[in-house]
Amino acid sequence: MEQRAGKPDDTFAELGLAALLPKDAIEELLSAALSRGGDFAEVYIQRSKSTSIPLEERKIRSAEMRVGQGVGIRVLSGEKTGYAYSDRLDMGSLLESARTAAYIAAGPSVERPVNVTAQLAPDYYTVRVDPASYPVAEKISLVKRANKAAYAYDHRIKQVDVSFSDIEREIIVANSDGLWIGDLQTMVRIRVSCLAAQKGISRTGSYGGGGRIGMEWFDRVSPEDVAREAARVAVVQLDAVPAPAGCMPVVIKNAWGGVLLHEAVGHGLEADFIRKGMSIYTGRVGEKVAADVCTLVDDGTVPNARGTINIDDEGTPGQRNVLVENGVLKGYMTDRLNGKLLGLPLTGNGRRQSYHDYPIPRMTCFFMEAGDSDPEEIVKSVDRGVYAAYFSGGQVDITNGNFTFSITEGYLIENGKLTAPIRGATLVGNGPDILTKITMVGSDRALDPGIGDCGKAGQAVPTTVGMPTVKVSEMTVGGTATE
Protein backbone atom coordinates (compact mmCIF):
# COMPACT_ATOMS: atom_id res chain seq x y z
CA MET A 1 0.00 0.00 0.00
CA GLU A 2 3.01 2.33 0.11
CA GLN A 3 2.37 3.25 -3.53
CA ARG A 4 -1.17 4.25 -2.69
CA ALA A 5 -2.01 7.80 -3.46
CA GLY A 6 -0.47 10.69 -5.26
CA LYS A 7 1.28 8.49 -7.80
CA PRO A 8 -0.78 8.50 -10.96
CA ASP A 9 0.14 5.03 -12.09
CA ASP A 10 -2.46 2.27 -12.21
CA THR A 11 0.11 -0.50 -11.95
CA PHE A 12 1.43 0.92 -8.70
CA ALA A 13 -2.12 1.29 -7.38
CA GLU A 14 -2.94 -2.29 -8.20
CA LEU A 15 0.28 -3.66 -6.69
CA GLY A 16 -0.53 -1.93 -3.40
CA LEU A 17 -4.15 -3.06 -3.35
CA ALA A 18 -3.38 -6.66 -4.26
CA ALA A 19 -0.88 -7.10 -1.44
CA LEU A 20 -3.64 -8.01 1.04
CA LEU A 21 -5.97 -9.93 -1.26
CA PRO A 22 -5.36 -10.51 -4.98
CA LYS A 23 -7.76 -9.20 -7.64
CA ASP A 24 -9.12 -12.60 -8.66
CA ALA A 25 -9.83 -13.50 -5.02
CA ILE A 26 -11.78 -10.25 -4.51
CA GLU A 27 -13.77 -10.86 -7.70
CA GLU A 28 -14.56 -14.41 -6.60
CA LEU A 29 -15.79 -13.15 -3.21
CA LEU A 30 -17.99 -10.50 -4.80
CA SER A 31 -19.51 -13.12 -7.14
CA ALA A 32 -20.14 -15.44 -4.21
CA ALA A 33 -21.76 -12.57 -2.29
CA LEU A 34 -24.20 -12.04 -5.17
CA SER A 35 -24.92 -15.76 -5.59
CA ARG A 36 -28.45 -15.45 -4.13
CA GLY A 37 -29.37 -12.32 -6.09
CA GLY A 38 -28.73 -9.01 -4.34
CA ASP A 39 -28.28 -5.57 -5.88
CA PHE A 40 -24.82 -4.82 -4.63
CA ALA A 41 -21.92 -6.54 -2.93
CA GLU A 42 -18.85 -5.09 -1.24
CA VAL A 43 -15.65 -6.43 0.27
CA TYR A 44 -13.93 -4.29 2.92
CA ILE A 45 -10.45 -5.24 4.06
CA GLN A 46 -8.81 -3.58 7.01
CA ARG A 47 -5.44 -3.97 8.64
CA SER A 48 -4.32 -1.84 11.54
CA LYS A 49 -1.28 -1.39 13.70
CA SER A 50 -1.15 0.93 16.68
CA THR A 51 1.09 1.98 19.53
CA SER A 52 0.11 3.61 22.78
CA ILE A 53 2.18 4.91 25.64
CA PRO A 54 0.39 5.91 28.85
CA LEU A 55 2.14 7.82 31.64
CA GLU A 56 0.81 8.14 35.19
CA GLU A 57 2.47 9.36 38.37
CA ARG A 58 5.67 10.28 36.45
CA LYS A 59 6.08 6.70 35.18
CA ILE A 60 5.62 5.15 31.75
CA ARG A 61 2.92 2.74 32.83
CA SER A 62 3.36 0.41 29.85
CA ALA A 63 4.38 0.27 26.23
CA GLU A 64 1.56 -1.12 24.11
CA MET A 65 1.18 -2.39 20.59
CA ARG A 66 -1.90 -3.71 18.81
CA VAL A 67 -2.37 -5.34 15.42
CA GLY A 68 -5.63 -6.40 13.86
CA GLN A 69 -6.97 -7.42 10.50
CA GLY A 70 -10.21 -8.57 9.04
CA VAL A 71 -12.63 -8.52 6.17
CA GLY A 72 -16.27 -7.43 6.14
CA ILE A 73 -18.58 -8.51 3.34
CA ARG A 74 -21.84 -6.70 2.67
CA VAL A 75 -24.74 -7.49 0.36
CA LEU A 76 -27.54 -5.02 -0.32
CA SER A 77 -30.92 -6.14 -1.57
CA GLY A 78 -33.49 -3.36 -1.71
CA GLU A 79 -33.53 -1.86 1.77
CA LYS A 80 -31.96 -4.97 3.28
CA THR A 81 -28.34 -5.37 4.36
CA GLY A 82 -26.61 -8.70 4.90
CA TYR A 83 -23.26 -8.46 6.68
CA ALA A 84 -20.62 -10.94 7.74
CA TYR A 85 -17.04 -10.48 8.84
CA SER A 86 -14.03 -12.57 9.60
CA ASP A 87 -10.56 -12.07 11.00
CA ARG A 88 -9.32 -15.02 8.97
CA LEU A 89 -8.01 -14.12 5.55
CA ASP A 90 -7.93 -17.62 4.08
CA MET A 91 -10.21 -18.03 1.06
CA GLY A 92 -12.30 -20.75 2.75
CA SER A 93 -13.31 -18.48 5.66
CA LEU A 94 -13.87 -15.50 3.37
CA LEU A 95 -16.13 -17.46 1.01
CA GLU A 96 -18.15 -18.63 3.99
CA SER A 97 -18.61 -14.99 5.06
CA ALA A 98 -19.61 -14.03 1.51
CA ARG A 99 -22.27 -16.76 1.45
CA THR A 100 -23.54 -15.74 4.89
CA ALA A 101 -23.97 -12.14 3.73
CA ALA A 102 -25.55 -13.37 0.47
CA TYR A 103 -28.35 -15.05 2.44
CA ILE A 104 -30.15 -11.70 2.85
CA ALA A 105 -31.16 -11.66 -0.83
CA ALA A 106 -32.73 -15.13 -0.41
CA GLY A 107 -33.18 -15.64 -4.16
CA PRO A 108 -32.35 -18.69 -6.30
CA SER A 109 -28.72 -19.42 -7.03
CA VAL A 110 -27.26 -17.21 -9.78
CA GLU A 111 -23.89 -16.78 -11.51
CA ARG A 112 -22.73 -13.18 -11.65
CA PRO A 113 -19.14 -12.55 -12.61
CA VAL A 114 -17.66 -9.30 -11.26
CA ASN A 115 -14.69 -7.34 -12.62
CA VAL A 116 -12.97 -4.70 -10.55
CA THR A 117 -10.54 -2.01 -11.69
CA ALA A 118 -7.95 -0.38 -9.45
CA GLN A 119 -8.52 3.30 -8.76
CA LEU A 120 -6.48 5.96 -7.02
CA ALA A 121 -7.67 7.88 -3.99
CA PRO A 122 -7.02 11.61 -3.49
CA ASP A 123 -4.46 12.58 -0.88
CA TYR A 124 -5.45 14.99 1.89
CA TYR A 125 -3.00 13.74 4.50
CA THR A 126 0.59 13.47 3.51
CA VAL A 127 2.70 11.86 6.23
CA ARG A 128 6.30 13.01 6.44
CA VAL A 129 7.51 11.18 9.55
CA ASP A 130 5.94 7.72 9.72
CA PRO A 131 4.97 6.93 13.34
CA ALA A 132 5.23 3.18 12.72
CA SER A 133 8.97 3.43 12.14
CA TYR A 134 9.60 6.23 14.65
CA PRO A 135 11.63 4.98 17.64
CA VAL A 136 9.59 4.12 20.74
CA ALA A 137 12.21 5.89 22.87
CA GLU A 138 11.47 9.16 21.02
CA LYS A 139 7.72 8.77 21.59
CA ILE A 140 8.42 8.19 25.26
CA SER A 141 10.49 11.33 25.35
CA LEU A 142 7.52 13.37 24.01
CA VAL A 143 5.32 11.94 26.75
CA LYS A 144 7.87 12.75 29.44
CA ARG A 145 8.29 16.30 28.14
CA ALA A 146 4.55 16.85 28.44
CA ASN A 147 4.57 15.46 31.98
CA LYS A 148 7.39 17.75 33.03
CA ALA A 149 5.81 20.85 31.53
CA ALA A 150 2.49 20.16 33.25
CA TYR A 151 4.11 19.95 36.71
CA ALA A 152 6.26 22.98 35.96
CA TYR A 153 3.22 25.09 35.04
CA ASP A 154 2.05 25.61 38.63
CA HIS A 155 2.92 24.16 42.02
CA ARG A 156 -0.74 23.30 42.54
CA ILE A 157 -0.61 20.65 39.79
CA LYS A 158 -0.63 17.40 41.79
CA GLN A 159 -1.35 14.66 39.27
CA VAL A 160 -0.57 14.36 35.57
CA ASP A 161 -1.65 11.67 33.12
CA VAL A 162 -0.30 11.70 29.57
CA SER A 163 -1.01 9.34 26.74
CA PHE A 164 0.39 9.19 23.26
CA SER A 165 -1.00 6.97 20.54
CA ASP A 166 -0.49 6.42 16.87
CA ILE A 167 -2.33 4.21 14.46
CA GLU A 168 -1.81 3.13 10.89
CA ARG A 169 -5.00 1.82 9.33
CA GLU A 170 -4.98 0.38 5.86
CA ILE A 171 -8.33 -0.10 4.12
CA ILE A 172 -9.29 -1.58 0.78
CA VAL A 173 -12.80 -1.43 -0.64
CA ALA A 174 -14.02 -3.37 -3.68
CA ASN A 175 -17.58 -3.62 -4.91
CA SER A 176 -19.76 -5.18 -7.58
CA ASP A 177 -19.92 -1.86 -9.47
CA GLY A 178 -16.24 -2.52 -10.29
CA LEU A 179 -14.64 -0.18 -7.74
CA TRP A 180 -11.32 -1.28 -6.19
CA ILE A 181 -9.63 1.39 -4.11
CA GLY A 182 -7.56 1.72 -0.95
CA ASP A 183 -6.26 4.19 1.57
CA LEU A 184 -3.57 4.36 4.21
CA GLN A 185 -4.76 6.34 7.23
CA THR A 186 -2.18 7.44 9.75
CA MET A 187 -3.10 9.27 12.93
CA VAL A 188 -1.24 10.57 15.97
CA ARG A 189 -2.77 11.90 19.17
CA ILE A 190 -1.53 13.15 22.53
CA ARG A 191 -3.69 13.85 25.58
CA VAL A 192 -2.78 15.38 28.91
CA SER A 193 -5.00 15.41 32.01
CA CYS A 194 -4.06 17.35 35.12
CA LEU A 195 -5.36 17.53 38.64
CA ALA A 196 -4.87 20.77 40.51
CA ALA A 197 -5.43 20.87 44.27
CA GLN A 198 -5.48 23.61 46.85
CA LYS A 199 -6.96 23.78 50.36
CA GLY A 200 -8.76 20.46 49.95
CA ILE A 201 -10.33 21.44 46.61
CA SER A 202 -9.44 19.35 43.55
CA ARG A 203 -10.15 20.28 39.94
CA THR A 204 -9.21 18.78 36.60
CA GLY A 205 -8.20 20.05 33.20
CA SER A 206 -7.40 18.19 30.05
CA TYR A 207 -6.26 19.02 26.56
CA GLY A 208 -4.92 17.20 23.56
CA GLY A 209 -4.19 17.34 19.90
CA GLY A 210 -3.34 15.42 16.78
CA GLY A 211 -4.64 14.62 13.35
CA ARG A 212 -4.26 12.47 10.28
CA ILE A 213 -0.59 13.22 10.14
CA GLY A 214 2.77 11.78 11.14
CA MET A 215 5.13 12.71 13.96
CA GLU A 216 5.70 16.07 12.25
CA TRP A 217 2.52 17.20 14.05
CA PHE A 218 4.80 17.92 17.00
CA ASP A 219 6.65 20.50 14.90
CA ARG A 220 3.45 22.58 14.96
CA VAL A 221 2.43 22.01 18.56
CA SER A 222 4.90 20.92 21.21
CA PRO A 223 4.04 18.45 23.98
CA GLU A 224 4.74 21.35 26.35
CA ASP A 225 2.05 23.49 24.68
CA VAL A 226 -0.52 20.72 25.14
CA ALA A 227 0.50 20.12 28.76
CA ARG A 228 0.42 23.79 29.73
CA GLU A 229 -3.07 24.19 28.31
CA ALA A 230 -4.33 21.19 30.33
CA ALA A 231 -2.65 22.55 33.46
CA ARG A 232 -4.04 26.04 32.88
CA VAL A 233 -7.62 24.75 32.74
CA ALA A 234 -7.16 22.74 35.95
CA VAL A 235 -5.70 25.73 37.82
CA VAL A 236 -8.42 28.11 36.57
CA GLN A 237 -11.04 25.69 37.87
CA LEU A 238 -9.71 26.02 41.44
CA ASP A 239 -11.52 29.34 41.68
CA ALA A 240 -14.67 28.14 39.95
CA VAL A 241 -18.08 28.99 41.40
CA PRO A 242 -21.20 26.84 40.91
CA ALA A 243 -22.72 27.46 37.49
CA PRO A 244 -26.01 29.35 37.31
CA ALA A 245 -29.27 27.55 36.58
CA GLY A 246 -31.82 28.86 34.13
CA CYS A 247 -32.26 30.42 30.68
CA MET A 248 -29.72 33.04 29.57
CA PRO A 249 -27.54 34.20 26.66
CA VAL A 250 -24.57 31.91 25.99
CA VAL A 251 -21.40 32.84 24.10
CA ILE A 252 -19.62 29.81 22.71
CA LYS A 253 -15.91 30.06 22.02
CA ASN A 254 -14.60 29.07 18.60
CA ALA A 255 -13.12 25.64 17.65
CA TRP A 256 -14.41 23.08 20.27
CA GLY A 257 -17.70 24.96 20.36
CA GLY A 258 -18.50 23.18 17.12
CA VAL A 259 -19.67 20.27 19.30
CA LEU A 260 -22.85 22.33 19.64
CA LEU A 261 -23.56 22.15 15.90
CA HIS A 262 -22.36 18.56 15.59
CA GLU A 263 -25.07 17.56 18.07
CA ALA A 264 -27.74 20.16 17.41
CA VAL A 265 -27.76 19.86 13.61
CA GLY A 266 -25.11 17.52 12.20
CA HIS A 267 -26.58 14.17 13.26
CA GLY A 268 -30.02 15.20 12.06
CA LEU A 269 -28.63 15.65 8.52
CA GLU A 270 -27.35 12.06 8.27
CA ALA A 271 -29.26 10.28 5.51
CA ASP A 272 -30.24 7.14 7.44
CA PHE A 273 -32.35 9.21 9.85
CA ILE A 274 -33.74 11.12 6.86
CA ARG A 275 -34.74 8.00 4.90
CA LYS A 276 -36.50 6.51 7.88
CA GLY A 277 -38.32 9.77 8.55
CA MET A 278 -36.82 9.88 12.03
CA SER A 279 -35.02 13.22 11.76
CA ILE A 280 -36.66 16.58 12.33
CA TYR A 281 -34.89 17.71 9.13
CA THR A 282 -36.65 15.11 6.95
CA GLY A 283 -38.10 16.63 3.75
CA ARG A 284 -36.93 20.15 4.51
CA VAL A 285 -34.30 20.78 1.80
CA GLY A 286 -34.77 24.31 0.45
CA GLU A 287 -36.39 25.49 3.69
CA LYS A 288 -35.01 28.03 6.08
CA VAL A 289 -33.78 26.05 9.09
CA ALA A 290 -31.37 28.51 10.69
CA ALA A 291 -30.60 32.19 11.07
CA ASP A 292 -29.12 33.91 7.97
CA VAL A 293 -25.69 34.04 9.59
CA CYS A 294 -25.43 30.21 9.60
CA THR A 295 -23.54 28.32 6.91
CA LEU A 296 -22.72 24.74 7.87
CA VAL A 297 -20.28 22.53 6.02
CA ASP A 298 -19.12 18.94 6.29
CA ASP A 299 -15.70 18.78 4.71
CA GLY A 300 -13.75 15.54 4.36
CA THR A 301 -10.89 17.31 2.57
CA VAL A 302 -9.38 19.59 5.23
CA PRO A 303 -5.62 18.86 5.04
CA ASN A 304 -4.44 16.57 7.88
CA ALA A 305 -7.55 17.05 10.06
CA ARG A 306 -8.56 14.13 12.25
CA GLY A 307 -11.99 13.86 10.61
CA THR A 308 -10.67 14.07 7.03
CA ILE A 309 -10.86 11.05 4.73
CA ASN A 310 -9.27 10.43 1.33
CA ILE A 311 -12.03 7.89 0.76
CA ASP A 312 -14.87 6.90 3.04
CA ASP A 313 -15.27 3.27 4.14
CA GLU A 314 -17.29 2.53 0.99
CA GLY A 315 -14.54 3.88 -1.30
CA THR A 316 -16.19 7.23 -2.11
CA PRO A 317 -13.67 10.12 -2.16
CA GLY A 318 -13.91 12.67 0.66
CA GLN A 319 -15.78 15.83 -0.35
CA ARG A 320 -16.70 19.28 0.82
CA ASN A 321 -20.49 19.48 1.19
CA VAL A 322 -22.33 22.68 2.06
CA LEU A 323 -25.34 21.49 4.06
CA VAL A 324 -26.86 24.74 5.27
CA GLU A 325 -26.13 27.94 3.33
CA ASN A 326 -27.13 31.29 4.83
CA GLY A 327 -29.74 29.49 6.89
CA VAL A 328 -31.24 27.40 4.07
CA LEU A 329 -31.00 23.59 4.15
CA LYS A 330 -29.13 22.39 1.05
CA GLY A 331 -28.68 18.65 1.50
CA TYR A 332 -27.86 15.62 3.59
CA MET A 333 -24.83 13.41 4.26
CA THR A 334 -25.17 10.05 2.50
CA ASP A 335 -23.78 6.56 2.34
CA ARG A 336 -24.45 4.24 -0.60
CA LEU A 337 -27.55 2.53 0.75
CA ASN A 338 -29.39 5.62 1.91
CA GLY A 339 -28.15 7.79 -0.97
CA LYS A 340 -29.51 5.29 -3.47
CA LEU A 341 -32.84 4.80 -1.72
CA LEU A 342 -33.32 8.57 -1.42
CA GLY A 343 -32.06 9.29 -4.96
CA LEU A 344 -29.29 11.52 -3.59
CA PRO A 345 -25.64 11.78 -4.69
CA LEU A 346 -22.84 10.19 -2.69
CA THR A 347 -21.20 12.71 -0.38
CA GLY A 348 -18.34 10.62 1.03
CA ASN A 349 -19.88 10.08 4.47
CA GLY A 350 -20.24 6.27 4.55
CA ARG A 351 -18.02 5.40 7.49
CA ARG A 352 -17.46 2.54 9.93
CA GLN A 353 -15.38 1.87 13.01
CA SER A 354 -13.88 -1.37 11.73
CA TYR A 355 -14.53 -4.48 9.67
CA HIS A 356 -16.92 -5.58 12.43
CA ASP A 357 -19.39 -2.93 11.28
CA TYR A 358 -21.30 -2.03 8.15
CA PRO A 359 -20.99 1.62 7.11
CA ILE A 360 -23.55 4.27 8.08
CA PRO A 361 -23.68 8.02 7.33
CA ARG A 362 -21.26 9.90 9.58
CA MET A 363 -19.76 13.35 9.75
CA THR A 364 -16.12 14.07 8.81
CA CYS A 365 -15.10 17.68 9.64
CA PHE A 366 -18.35 19.47 10.46
CA PHE A 367 -18.14 23.20 11.04
CA MET A 368 -19.80 26.58 10.76
CA GLU A 369 -18.29 29.17 8.44
CA ALA A 370 -17.07 32.49 9.81
CA GLY A 371 -19.29 35.53 10.18
CA ASP A 372 -18.15 39.12 10.54
CA SER A 373 -18.49 39.92 14.26
CA ASP A 374 -15.46 40.65 16.38
CA PRO A 375 -15.32 37.90 19.07
CA GLU A 376 -14.66 40.51 21.76
CA GLU A 377 -17.70 42.52 20.67
CA ILE A 378 -19.80 39.36 21.01
CA VAL A 379 -18.84 39.04 24.69
CA LYS A 380 -19.36 42.77 25.22
CA SER A 381 -22.93 42.49 23.91
CA VAL A 382 -24.00 40.28 26.86
CA ASP A 383 -25.12 41.78 30.19
CA ARG A 384 -25.50 38.56 32.10
CA GLY A 385 -24.78 35.13 30.68
CA VAL A 386 -22.29 32.32 30.29
CA TYR A 387 -19.14 32.00 28.19
CA ALA A 388 -18.37 28.38 27.24
CA ALA A 389 -14.80 27.66 26.15
CA TYR A 390 -14.24 23.89 26.33
CA PHE A 391 -16.62 20.94 26.32
CA SER A 392 -16.44 17.29 27.25
CA GLY A 393 -18.78 16.14 24.49
CA GLY A 394 -22.47 16.03 23.85
CA GLN A 395 -25.45 13.93 22.90
CA VAL A 396 -28.61 14.39 20.82
CA ASP A 397 -32.04 12.80 20.46
CA ILE A 398 -32.47 12.88 16.67
CA THR A 399 -36.23 12.50 16.77
CA ASN A 400 -37.08 15.59 18.79
CA GLY A 401 -33.81 17.47 18.29
CA ASN A 402 -33.03 17.90 21.98
CA PHE A 403 -29.33 17.95 22.72
CA THR A 404 -26.98 18.49 25.60
CA PHE A 405 -23.30 19.17 26.09
CA SER A 406 -21.11 19.70 29.09
CA ILE A 407 -18.82 22.65 29.73
CA THR A 408 -15.33 21.85 31.06
CA GLU A 409 -14.11 25.45 31.00
CA GLY A 410 -16.60 28.28 31.27
CA TYR A 411 -17.07 31.73 32.78
CA LEU A 412 -19.83 34.04 33.89
CA ILE A 413 -20.36 37.07 31.68
CA GLU A 414 -21.30 40.14 33.69
CA ASN A 415 -21.74 43.52 32.05
CA GLY A 416 -19.93 42.47 28.91
CA LYS A 417 -16.91 41.03 30.71
CA LEU A 418 -15.76 37.52 31.62
CA THR A 419 -15.73 37.20 35.41
CA ALA A 420 -15.68 34.07 37.61
CA PRO A 421 -14.96 30.63 36.18
CA ILE A 422 -17.93 28.26 36.59
CA ARG A 423 -18.09 24.54 37.24
CA GLY A 424 -20.61 21.75 36.81
CA ALA A 425 -22.54 23.18 33.89
CA THR A 426 -24.41 21.38 31.18
CA LEU A 427 -26.13 23.19 28.32
CA VAL A 428 -29.38 21.84 26.89
CA GLY A 429 -31.37 22.98 23.93
CA ASN A 430 -33.34 22.00 20.90
CA GLY A 431 -31.47 21.90 17.57
CA PRO A 432 -33.90 23.67 15.25
CA ASP A 433 -34.71 26.20 17.97
CA ILE A 434 -31.07 27.04 18.74
CA LEU A 435 -30.31 27.58 15.06
CA THR A 436 -32.80 30.43 14.96
CA LYS A 437 -31.30 31.93 18.12
CA ILE A 438 -27.73 32.31 16.84
CA THR A 439 -27.65 36.08 16.71
CA MET A 440 -23.94 36.85 16.26
CA VAL A 441 -21.22 34.90 14.43
CA GLY A 442 -17.56 35.72 14.89
CA SER A 443 -14.84 36.11 12.30
CA ASP A 444 -12.58 33.62 14.08
CA ARG A 445 -13.56 30.22 12.65
CA ALA A 446 -11.25 27.44 13.85
CA LEU A 447 -11.26 23.65 14.06
CA ASP A 448 -10.76 21.64 17.24
CA PRO A 449 -7.17 20.50 17.96
CA GLY A 450 -7.75 16.97 16.70
CA ILE A 451 -8.63 14.46 19.41
CA GLY A 452 -12.35 13.94 18.92
CA ASP A 453 -14.30 10.76 18.26
CA CYS A 454 -18.01 10.60 17.55
CA GLY A 455 -20.16 7.65 18.62
CA LYS A 456 -23.28 6.42 16.80
CA ALA A 457 -24.91 2.99 16.82
CA GLY A 458 -22.02 1.68 18.92
CA GLN A 459 -19.39 2.76 16.37
CA ALA A 460 -16.73 5.36 17.17
CA VAL A 461 -15.09 7.22 14.28
CA PRO A 462 -12.56 10.09 14.34
CA THR A 463 -14.23 13.43 13.61
CA THR A 464 -13.42 17.12 13.68
CA VAL A 465 -15.69 19.94 14.79
CA GLY A 466 -15.30 23.65 14.27
CA MET A 467 -16.96 26.99 14.68
CA PRO A 468 -16.35 30.71 15.02
CA THR A 469 -17.29 32.34 18.34
CA VAL A 470 -21.09 32.64 18.38
CA LYS A 471 -23.78 34.12 20.55
CA VAL A 472 -26.93 32.14 21.29
CA SER A 473 -29.54 34.62 22.53
CA GLU A 474 -31.11 32.16 24.97
CA MET A 475 -30.21 28.71 26.20
CA THR A 476 -30.78 26.60 29.32
CA VAL A 477 -27.72 26.42 31.56
CA GLY A 478 -27.86 23.53 34.00
CA GLY A 479 -25.95 24.58 37.07
CA THR A 480 -27.01 24.54 40.71
CA ALA A 481 -27.00 28.28 41.54
CA THR A 482 -30.57 29.59 41.43
CA GLU A 483 -31.42 33.22 42.08
Partner 1 sequence: MDYQQLAQDVVSAAMRAGADEAEVYLQTGDEFDVNVRLGEVETLTQAGAKGLGLRVFVDKRMAFASTTDFDGDVINDMVKTTVQLARSASRDRYNGLPDPGSGPGRPGPVPHLDLYDRTIADLTTAEKIEMARESEAAAFEFDRRITNSYGASFSNSSGMSIIANSNGILYTNSSTRCGIGCAPLAEEDGSKEVGSYGSVRRFLRQLESPESVGREAAGRAVRKLGARKVETQKVPVVFEWSVAPILWGAVFSALDGDNIHRGMSFLKKKLNKRVGSHLVTLIDDPLMPSGIGSMPFDGEGVLTRCKVVVDEGILKMHFYDARTARKYGAQPTGNARRGYSGIPSVGPTNFYLRQTDVSPEEIIRGISNGFYVTETMGHGVSVVTGDFSVGASGMWIKDGELAYPVHEVTIAGNMLDMMQNVEQVANDAKFMSLVVSPTFKITEMTVSGR
Stretch touching partner 1 by CB under 8 A, among 2-10, 171-179, 239-247, 285-293: 239-247
Is 473 a binder of partner 1 (CB under 8 A)?
no
- Cβ 99 to partner 1 shortest distance, Å: 10
- Cβ 120 to partner 1 shortest distance, Å: 28
Comparing CB distances to partner 1, the nearer of 124 and 405 is 405
Is 198 a binder of partner 1 (CB under 8 A)?
no
Q: Select from 315, 276, 344 the least CA-distant residue to 176.
A: 315
- Cβ 5 to partner 1 shortest distance, Å: 26
Instruction: Give Cα 375 to chain centroid, integer Å.
Output: 26
Is 64 a binder of partner 1 (CB under 8 A)?
yes
Is 36 a binder of partner 1 (CB under 8 A)?
no
Residues of span 102-161 touching partner 1 by CB under 8 A: 103-104, 136-137, 140, 158-159
- When binding is defined by CB under 8 A, the residue of 18, 245, 322, 420 that contacts partner 1 is 245
Is 397 a binder of partner 1 (CB under 8 A)?
yes
Q: Select from 171, 162, 168, 182 the least CA-distant residue to 134.
A: 168
Comparing CB distances to partner 1, the nearer of 394 and 462 is 394
CB-CB contact of 332 with 345 (8 Å): no
Residues of span 253-292 touching partner 1 by CB under 8 A: 276-278, 280
Comparing CB distances to partner 1, the nearer of 147 and 295 is 147
How far CA 304 is from CA of 6, 54, 346, 449, 450, in Å, comes to 15, 24, 22, 11, 9
Check residue 302 and report its DSSP letter: S
- Cβ 76 to partner 1 shortest distance, Å: 10
Stretch touching partner 1 by CB under 8 A, among 212-220, 311-319, 368-376, 390-398: 390-398
DSSP string, 399-410: TT-EEEEEEEEE
Q: Is 210 left (phi over 0), alpha (psi -120 to 50) or beta?
A: left
Largest CA distance in the chain: 76
- When binding is defined by CB under 8 A, the residue of 243, 311, 365, 447 that contacts partner 1 is 243
Stretch touching partner 1 by CB under 8 A, among 295-303, 305-313, 410-418, 420-428: 420-428
How far CA 262 is from CA of 344, 428, 467, in Å, comes to 22, 14, 10
Crossing angle of helices 223-237 and 136-153, rounded to 10°: 30
- When binding is defined by CB under 8 A, the residue of 19, 60, 241, 341 that contacts partner 1 is 60
Stretch touching partner 1 by CB under 8 A, among 199-207, 309-317, 378-386, 437-445: 199-207
Beta strands 417-423 and 241-242 are parallel
DSSP string, 226-252: HHHHHHHHHHHHTT-EEPBEEEEEEEE
Is 399 a binder of partner 1 (CB under 8 A)?
yes
- When binding is defined by CB under 8 A, the residue of 403, 438, 444, 459 that contacts partner 1 is 403
* String of contacts with partner 1 for each residue 343-382, x by CB under 8 A: -------------x-x------------------------
Q: How far apart are CA 326 and CA 171, in angstroms?
A: 37
